[in-house]
């Protein structure tokens, strides 16, 4: 078999790129989604979440008290609960009280113990009823707990004075946390766990429509037959198409990294943190480049898989139904960087997509293990080469190209 | 120019099992000749032309096209042929100039040759007024002219046209038939398939009547009429393709 000729491959590649950039669907998935949609989603999502949090904090709560007469000091303390109105429900059966919490008439109930809490000889129980699955009720519980903790500290201090005992009796030592991570590093950690997922997914979707268009689309339009009758060999056609899909995947990947970085940094700044502006100067350009270099073999793998799958489809609609499950299959391994406790082991270094997700995360957080990165690059390159081999074999099959 | 010997093509279909689309056919097309494959839909014409254009691999038999075996040297064969189907399927997001540039590049023309070739076909087929308009915005006739231009961009010595006028309006179909007639005077060899009896009668030097994957008769119109003992091509065609119906009439 003759070796593929570079000029023929380049001719196919150039034509496919020209065709792609004139396709609105491809432009949407390749440029508009990574550049505009995701940052806008993130910023709008952040604003919505922040405003929802703010509105939750401002919510007025109703807290029922039962038998509060016996502990006037505790009642007095509870009156200090933020944004809460205390309503006396003494005498109401407990089941009825529970029903009212479930019905959201009241958000929580505090059942007093019926004894004076100033008496150190007893250790009574204060019961707090709430529903953890209800946002407002859970908020009421948190506010009540905060108030009760402060009241407990107050009682303990009084008793220590009464018994003439030092504070160290109940608090043998103090704890002082010193978080070495700077605000910048904390944000970078969030970015590093989120970015690989988005990067992998956007690189894949960037390759998706061009792959469909160049295979099933070409069949559907009926242009494949004349292309196959041209002097370009099947291998040259495959390589040209592969390079075009790979190019769009890489463009999408690069744009997503840039826009996500800018979005997170500017979004952080916009949402009130002052570190956003500084962070933009501190993000390691080398780490970003390293992350993108990991994407090269992965984009090649995606391009080959998508071309292989889509060439079997008779129409673009059919091709879309073929690639849909692939998107779902991709989500879990791509999310590995966001999973708590996921580690860069040798096993994961050989697992496609998982390895890149973890490697990109480690690069961004400056914790990269050169062996892991090396194996990730090697294994993904091997998979990509196998993928290209498979694609070229499938393109030789008449049953795939001329399925009836 | 074309020498076909015992050419066969069998497809495997999961539902229908083995389908013998072409059954050991043999014919020759001489240099400078217009040769028509006449047959109904499903006769095996498209499969035959696809094998000769090296798009499909023969299951058995041999075919030598422009001096090259279709199985052993498919790339060499493709360098010598201009292939056209009647669907006028083109890249709608490209302009005719971009499309022609693409195919000129696939044929390995140098930049100077490419520009000259585009100018030649643009002038020959009147593309100038729309050569930089996207194909998606062109009329059927303009697309057809673009399609023929693409097929002849490298000035092929052999043209293979698969039902080039099927589904076209009379004016667009006329462009094709005129082009075929002109090709005859230019010494180009042309093999085309059709199911229009009149088209075969008017254009072809020789005809092969195909039915059910087999060639039932080959020769000039006079030879076919003589072989079948009929008076016109329609009678000859039905006597070969549907003898019972022909006998009944």
pLDDT digits (tens, 9 = 90+) for B82-97: 998 877 679 999 999 9
Looking at the complex, report in whole angstroms how far the Cα of residue A323 sits from the nearest Cα belonging to chain B: 23
Residues of chain A with CATH 3.40.190: 62-165
Tell whether B93 is within 8 A of chain A (Cβ): yes
Looking at the complex, report in whole angstroms how far the Cα of residue A234 sits from the nearest Cα belonging to chain B: 10
Tell me whether residues A19 and B91 touch, CB distance under 8 A.
Answer: yes
pLDDT digits (tens, 9 = 90+) for A352-397: 999 999 998 888 888 888 999 999 999 999 999 999 999 989 888 8
Across residues B143-161, what is the average pLDDT? 91
Look at residue A281 in the predicted model and tell me its pLDDT.
40
pLDDT digits (tens, 9 = 90+) for A161-205: 988 888 888 888 989 988 888 776 777 777 778 788 888 988 998
Candidates A12, A230, A404, partner chain B, best to mutate (most B CBs within 10 A): A230
- Choose the weakest-confidence range: A33-47, A159-173, A212-226: A33-47
pLDDT digits (tens, 9 = 90+) for B185-243: 777 899 999 888 888 888 899 999 999 999 999 999 999 999 888 888 888 888 887 77
The CATH number of the domain holding residue B119 is 3.40.50.300
Contacts of A11 by beta carbon, 8 Å cutoff, 6+ apart: A232, A240, B102, B105, B106
pLDDT digits (tens, 9 = 90+) for A227-278: 999 999 999 999 999 999 999 999 988 888 888 777 766 655 554 444 444 4
A137 or B17: which carries more pLDDT confidence? A137
pLDDT digits (tens, 9 = 90+) for A325-337: 998 899 888 888 7
What is chain A's percent helix, strand, coil content, to nearest 5? 70, 5, 25
Q: How far apart are CA B234 and CA B228, in angstroms?
A: 11
Looking at the complex, report in whole angstroms how far the Cα of residue B132 sits from the nearest Cα belonging to chain A: 14
Nearest C-alpha in A relative to B47:
A402
Look at residue B4 in the predicted model and tell me its pLDDT.
95
Across residues B135-151, what is the average pLDDT? 90
CA distances from B160 to A242, A243, B42, B219 (A): 29, 31, 18, 19
Across residues B41-61, what is the average pLDDT? 93
DSSP code of A5? P
- Chain B hits for A233, Cβ within 8 Å: 74-75
Total domain count for chain B?
A: 1
Looking at the complex, report in whole angstroms how far the Cα of residue A23 sits from the nearest Cα belonging to chain B: 7
The answer on pLDDT for A76 being more than 60 is: yes
Relative to beta strand B2-13, strand A108-111 is unpaired
**Is-contact B140 B168, C-beta < 8 A?**
yes
**Is-contact A230 B103, C-beta < 8 A?**
yes
Candidates A229, A236, A395, partner chain B, best to mutate (most B CBs within 10 A): A229
Looking at the complex, report in whole angstroms how far the Cα of residue A312 sits from the nearest Cα belonging to chain B: 15
Tell me whether residues A11 and B102 touch, CB distance under 8 A.
Answer: yes
**Is-contact B200 B194, C-beta < 8 A?**
yes
User: What are residue A107's phi and psi, to 5 degrees?
Assistant: -95, -25
Looking at the complex, report in whole angstroms how far the Cα of residue A390 sits from the nearest Cα belonging to chain B: 20
Tell me whether residues B106 and A8 touch, CB distance under 8 A.
Answer: yes
**Is-contact A361 A192, C-beta < 8 A?**
yes
Look at residue A374 in the predicted model and tell me its pLDDT.
92
Chosen CATH of A62-165 out of 3.40.190, 1.10.3470, 1.20.120, 3.30.70: 3.40.190
Tell me whether residues B107 and A223 touch, CB distance under 8 A.
Answer: no
Across residues A135-160, what is the average pLDDT? 92
pLDDT digits (tens, 9 = 90+) for A291-328: 888 899 999 999 999 999 999 898 899 999 999 999 88
- Chain B hits for A232, Cβ within 8 Å: 106
Tell whether B85 is within 8 A of chain A (Cβ): yes
Tell whether B53 is within 8 A of chain A (Cβ): yes
The answer on pLDDT for A402 being more than 70 is: yes
Across residues B90-109, what is the average pLDDT? 95
Q: How many CB atoms lie within 10 A of CB B94?
A: 20
**Is-contact A208 A29, C-beta < 8 A?**
yes
- Chain B hits for A8, Cβ within 8 Å: 105-106, 108
Look at residue A287 in the predicted model and tell me its pLDDT.
79
Tell me whether residues B89 and A223 touch, CB distance under 8 A.
Answer: yes
Q: How confident is the model at residue A404 (pLDDT cuts 50, 70, 90)?
A: low
Task: Measure CB to CB from residue A222 to each of B81, B87, B106 and give the nearest one.
Answer: B87
The answer on pLDDT for B76 being more than 70 is: yes
Q: How far apart are CA A324 and CA A20, in angstroms?
A: 21
Across residues A56-66, what is the average pLDDT? 88
% of chain A residues with pLDDT over 90: 42
State chain B's mean pLDDT as an integer.
89
Helices of type H across chain B: 45-52, 74-80, 96-106, 111-125, 140-151, 170-185, 197-203, 221-228, 233-241, 243-248
% of chain A residues with pLDDT over 70: 92
Look at residue A268 in the predicted model and tell me its pLDDT.
54
B96 or B32: which carries more pLDDT confidence? B96
pLDDT digits (tens, 9 = 90+) for A268-295: 555 444 444 444 445 567 778 888 888 9
Q: How far apart are CA B149 and CA B117, in angstroms?
A: 9
Look at residue B193 in the predicted model and tell me its pLDDT.
92
The answer on pLDDT for B249 being more than 70 is: no
Q: How confident is the model at residue B170 (pLDDT cuts 50, 70, 90)?
A: confident
Task: Measure CB to CB from residue B83 to each of A18, A229, A399 and give the nearest one.
Answer: A229
Q: How far apart are CA B62 and CA B6, in angstroms?
A: 7
- Chain A hits for B55, Cβ within 8 Å: 225, 228-229
Tell me whether residues B85 and A222 touch, CB distance under 8 A.
Answer: yes
- Chain A hits for B83, Cβ within 8 Å: 225-226, 229
**Is-contact B135 B94, C-beta < 8 A?**
yes
Look at residue A318 in the predicted model and tell me its pLDDT.
93
Tell me whether residues B79 and A231 touch, CB distance under 8 A.
Answer: yes
Residues of A with CB under 8 A from a CB of B: 2, 7-8, 10-12, 14-15, 18-19, 22-23, 221-223, 225-233, 398-399, 402, 404
Task: Measure CB to CB from residue B93 to each of A23, A232, A399 and give the nearest one.
Answer: A23
- Chain A hits for B92, Cβ within 8 Å: 221
Task: Measure CB to CB from residue A229 to each of B55, B92, B94 and give the nearest one.
Answer: B55
Q: How far apart are CA A396 and CA A394, in angstroms?
A: 5
Look at residue A276 in the predicted model and tell me its pLDDT.
45
Look at residue A275 in the predicted model and tell me its pLDDT.
45
Structural domain range at position B175: 2-248
Tell me whether residues B89 and A398 touch, CB distance under 8 A.
Answer: no
Tell me whether residues A231 and B53 touch, CB distance under 8 A.
Answer: no
Q: How far apart are CA A263 and CA A285, in angstroms?
A: 16
Tell whether B19 is within 8 A of chain A (Cβ): no
DSSP code of B128? T
Look at residue B22 in the predicted model and tell me its pLDDT.
93
- Between chain A and chain B, the number of residue pairs with CB atoms below 8 A apart is 78
Q: How confident is the model at residue A403 (pLDDT cuts 50, 70, 90)?
A: low
């Amino acid at each position: 078999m003759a070796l593929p000729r570079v000029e023929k491959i380049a001719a196919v590649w150039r034509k496919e790129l020209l065709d792609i950039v004139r396709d609105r669907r491809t432009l949407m998935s390749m440029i508009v989604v990574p550049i505009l949609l995701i940052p806008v989603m993130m910023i709008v999502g952040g604003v919505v979440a922040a405003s929802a949090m703010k509105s939750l904090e401002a919510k007025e709560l109703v807290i029922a008290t039962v038998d509060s007469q016996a502990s006037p000091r505790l009642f007095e303390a509870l009156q200090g609960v933020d944004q809460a109105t205390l309503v006396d429900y003494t005498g109401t059966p407990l089941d009825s009280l529970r029903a009212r919490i479930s019905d959201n008439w009241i958000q929580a109930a505090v059942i007093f113990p019926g004894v004076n809490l100033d008496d150190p000889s007893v250790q009574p129980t204060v019961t707090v009823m709430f529903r953890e699955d209800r946002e407002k009720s859970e908020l009421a519980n948190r506010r009540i707990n905060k108030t009760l903790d402060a009241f407990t500290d107050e009682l303990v201090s009084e008793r220590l004075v009464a018994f003439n005992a030092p504070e160290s009796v109940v608090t043998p030592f103090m704890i002082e946390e010193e978080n070495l991570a700077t605000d910048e590093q904390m944000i970078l950690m969030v970015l590093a766990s989120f970015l690989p997922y988005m990067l992998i997914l956007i690189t894949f979707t960037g390759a998706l429509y061009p792959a469909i268009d160049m295979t099933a689309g070409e069949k559907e339009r009926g242009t494949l037959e004349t292309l196959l009758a041209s002097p370009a060999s099947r291998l040259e056609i495959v390589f040209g198409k592969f390079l075009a899909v790979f190019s769009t995947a890489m463009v999408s990947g690069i744009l997503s990294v840039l826009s996500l970085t800018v979005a997170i940094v500017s979004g952080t700044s916009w949402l009130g943190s002052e570190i956003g502006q500084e962070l933009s100067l501190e993000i390691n350009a080398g780490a970003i480049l390293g992350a993108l270099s990991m994407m090269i073999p992965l984009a090649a793998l995606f391009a080959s898989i998508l071309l292989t799958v889509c060439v079997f489809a008779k129409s673009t609609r059919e091709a879309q139904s073929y690639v849909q499950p692939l998107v779902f299959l991709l989500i879990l391994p791509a999310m590995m960087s966001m999973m708590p406790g996921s580690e860069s082991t040798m096993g994961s270094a050989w697992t496609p997509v998982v390895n890149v997700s973890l490697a990109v995360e480690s690069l961004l957080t400056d914790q990269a293990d050169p062996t892991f990165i090396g194996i990730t690059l090697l294994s993904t390159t091997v998979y990509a080469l196998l993928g290209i081999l498979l694609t070229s074999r499938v393109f030789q099959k008449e049953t795939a190209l001329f399925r009836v | 120019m074309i020498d076909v010997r015992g050419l066969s093509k069998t497809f495997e279909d999961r539902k229908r099992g083995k389908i013998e689309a072409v059954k050991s056919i043999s014919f020759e097309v001489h240099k400078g000749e217009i040769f028509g494959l006449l047959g109904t839909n499903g006769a095996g014409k498209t499969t035959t032309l696809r094998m000769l254009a090296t798009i499909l691999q023969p299951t058995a038999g041999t075919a030598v096209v422009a001096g090259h075996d279709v199985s052993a040297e498919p790339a060499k064969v493709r360098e010598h042929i201009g292939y056209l189907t009647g669907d006028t399927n083109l890249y709608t997001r490209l302009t005719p100039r971009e499309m022609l540039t693409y195919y000129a590049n696939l044929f390995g023309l140098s930049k100077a040759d490419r520009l000259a070739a585009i100018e030649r076909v643009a002038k020959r087929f009147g593309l100038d007024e729309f050569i930089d308009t996207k194909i998606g915005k062109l009329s059927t006739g303009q697309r057809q002219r673009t399609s023929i231009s693409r097929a002849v961009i490298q000035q092929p010595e052999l043209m293979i046209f698969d039902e080039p006028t099927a589904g076209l309006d009379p004016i667009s179909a006329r462009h094709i038939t005129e082009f075929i007639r002109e090709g005859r005077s230019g010494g180009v060899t042309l093999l085309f398939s059709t199911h229009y009896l009149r088209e075969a009668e008017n254009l072809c030097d020789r005809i092969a009547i195909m039915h059910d994957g087999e060639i039932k008769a080959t020769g000039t119109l006079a030879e076919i009429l003589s072989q079948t003992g009929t008076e016109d091509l329609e009678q000859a065609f039905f006597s070969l393709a549907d003898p019972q119906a022909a006998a009944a009439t």
